[in-house]
């Protein structure tokens, strides 16, 4: 049986296509402009000739970026924060989400209430800084990972997924002599790959884009992540830290370097998504279907 759409439905569908296309262009075109400027000469950028395609193609900005020791150092720090921080996030979130998902644990409703309060009220900056200083985390990379070990939103997502796993499966594992840690490791986590991939992407993006925490807690410039280094280039036009004397520094070459650094800071986290896409789509469906 062939379904025939009415005129109003066809109009609605085409309007949606048009609206979503325009919305996508508003996000894609600025990114294309950044790419074009990063491959265009400083003269073309100065004359305003660069739109969405490189003019007077050059790789000079990327030669500078990849020859700049300070940018490589900041890039390595961001990679470390993303990998180690995401691991800490997943371990901490899973450890708390599991007991909160099982009805046999006493007091879980009160813990959930406290977690919910953190989504509504956040700690003031000055008391938080004093706490970080007193426990010795100021000016260390731990300050960028430990305070944000658990996100309340991601915790609720993972708890919801854990709660959908049949209780009979957990009870049978306990009867076979499994400890709670083994239940989590051998049963809960393997069955929760979609949810873990979903919150893993959220955590990875957050860790990769660490900016405000680094400004608050990191004083040593050698420990700046890539986002703060990018801020230095955008705000202060500071190209003196690299020691790359072969690079001719002008205001417009600085703009080209800025565009190149933006791409270097953006591309790695974008490349992670295709490998986790199938799990991410499943994870985003959590709670949307009721049995």
pLDDT band, residue 124 (cuts 50/70/90): confident
pLDDT tens-digit map of 254-263:
777 778 888 8
49 occurs within a structural domain: no
46 occurs within a structural domain: no
23 or 67: which carries more pLDDT confidence? Answer: 23
131 occurs within a structural domain: yes
Structural Rg of the chain based on CA atoms: 24
What pLDDT sits at residue 83?
92
Give the Cα separation of 213 and 168 in Å (integer): 43
How many structural domains comprise the chain? 1
Per the listing, tokens 């900041």 go with: 74
Q: What percent of the chain has pLDDT over 70?
A: 85
150 occurs within a structural domain: yes
Taking the CA atoms of residue 190, residue 192, residue 194 and residue 196 in that order, the dihedral angle to the nearest 10 degrees is: -100
43 occurs within a structural domain: no
42 occurs within a structural domain: no
Per the listing, tokens 């000079």 go with: 60
33 occurs within a structural domain: no
pLDDT tens-digit map of 204-261:
888 988 888 888 898 888 888 888 887 777 665 555 554 444 455 454 467 777 788 8
pLDDT band, residue 109 (cuts 50/70/90): confident
Give the Cα separation of 242 and 68 in Å (integer): 5
Report phi then psi at 51, rounded to 5.
Answer: -120, -85
82 or 168: which carries more pLDDT confidence? Answer: 82
Looking at every residue in the chain, the average pLDDT score rounds to 80
What pLDDT sits at residue 281?
58
For 94, the domain range is 68-249+265-283
What residue spans of 102-185 are helical by DSSP H? Answer: 108-120, 125-134, 152-163, 167-175, 180-183
Q: Tell me, what CATH number does 230's domain have?
A: 1.10.3720.10
Out of 155-159, 164-168, 176-180, 234-238, least confident range: 234-238
């Amino acid at each position: 049986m062939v379904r025939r759409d009415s005129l109003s439905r066809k109009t609605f569908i085409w309007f949606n296509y048009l609206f979503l296309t325009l919305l996508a262009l508003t996000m894609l075109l600025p990114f294309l402009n950044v790419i074009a400027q990063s491959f265009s000469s400083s003269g073309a950028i100065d004359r305003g000739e660069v739109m969405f395609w490189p003019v007077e193609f050059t790789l000079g900005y990327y030669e500078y970026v990849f020859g700049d020791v300070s940018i490589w150092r900041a890039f390595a720090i961001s990679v470390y924060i993303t990998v180690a921080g995401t691991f800490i996030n997943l371990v901490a979130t899973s450890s708390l989400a599991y007991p909160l998902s099982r009805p046999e644990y006493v007091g879980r409703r009160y813990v959930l209430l406290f977690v919910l309060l953190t989504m509504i009220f956040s700690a003031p900056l000055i008391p938080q800084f004093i706490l970080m200083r007193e426990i010795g985390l100021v000016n260390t990379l731990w300050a960028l990972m430990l305070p944000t070990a658990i996100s309340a939103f991601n915790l609720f997502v993972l708890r919801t997924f854990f709660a959908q796993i049949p209780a009979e499966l957990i009870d049978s594992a306990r009867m076979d002599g499994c400890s709670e840690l083994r239940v989590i490791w051998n049963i809960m986590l393997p069955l929760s790959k979609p949810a873990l991939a979903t919150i893993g992407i959220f955590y990875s993006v957050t860790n990769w884009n660490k900016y405000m925490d680094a400004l608050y807690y990191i004083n040593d410039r050698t420990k700046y992540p890539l986002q703060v280094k990018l801020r230095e280039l955008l705000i202060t036009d500071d190209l003196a830290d690299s020691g790359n004397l072969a690079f001719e520094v002008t205001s417009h070459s600085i703009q080209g370097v800025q565009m190149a650094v933006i791409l270097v800071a953006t591309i790695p986290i974008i490349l992670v998504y295709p490998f986790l896409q199938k799990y991410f789509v499943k994870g985003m469906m959590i709670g949307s279907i009721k049995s």
